[in-house]
Amino acid sequence: MSKVSVYRLPTPNFNNRELLLLSLTHKSLGANNNERMEFLGDAILDMIVSDYLYYSLPKAKEGQLSIVRSNIVSAKNLSHYFFAADFKDKVMLQKGVDVTLNIAANYVEAIIGAIYLDKGYNEAKNYIMPVIKESYLLFKGEIKDSKSKLQELMQKKGKPLPIYDIVKKEGQDHKQTFTVSCKIYDNESIAQCNTIQNATKKAAQLILNKIEKNENSKR
């Protein structure tokens, strides 16, 4: 995606400009920073993307929707839009702190949170929707379940295939909950769902999320 021109996020107009300044302030500068806005923006972005995918992919299953959403809201994807954004040169952080993929994505989420606080949900949605639509076109063809993706990744790395185990089964026959673990060579995750198949997919996705986070932290 870095080789493709992406939508350029503008610097939003704020009624309360202090919210904009705070959204651009990294925690390295002290306690008055954008972490709370990032927390809020992350939740709002998840909601907007989930709503968009629900109606855009009416035949997709829960696990497939989760895969597309995780790609759209990933640090890797959001960072592309940060580095193309009008406000990228206005961010404030301590000298010597590099803007990693995670930090870049956090700025985008903080901006969303700030717009929500200043003008409400619809304004935040309108601001980020071009990013969501563009990202959706890129990732909608990658509806591959997380178990398949994790297996392919392990094969690519030359590592043993994931091992899945049923840790616990609870509830009556008509309403059971399954707890499943997923183990790879250096990590493990546990997930619950109402079917073994969905629980294994969720566990695999958790491992994929951990791998992505670890790789992003090294950049």
Please measure the distance between the N-terminal and C-terminal CA atoms of the chain and give it in whole angstroms.
16
Question: Looking at 38, 62, 109, 173, which residue is catalytic?
Answer: 109
H-state helical runs in 85-195: 101-119, 121-139, 146-157
Rounded CA-CA distance 29/205 in Å is 34
Question: Looking at 42, 118, 134, 145, which residue is catalytic?
Answer: 42
Give the strand order in the sheet containing 163-172: 163-172, 175-184, 187-193
Length of the chain: 219
CA-based nearest residue to 53, from 39, 43, 63: 63
Q: Specify the pairing of strand 163-172 against strand 175-184.
A: antiparallel
Helices 75-84 and 101-119, packing angle to 10 deg: 70
Any catalytic annotation for residue 165?
Answer: no
Any catalytic annotation for residue 42?
Answer: yes
Q: Taking a C-beta distance cutoff of 8 angstroms, is the pair 194, 177 a contact?
A: yes
Point out the residues that are catalytic.
Answer: 42, 109
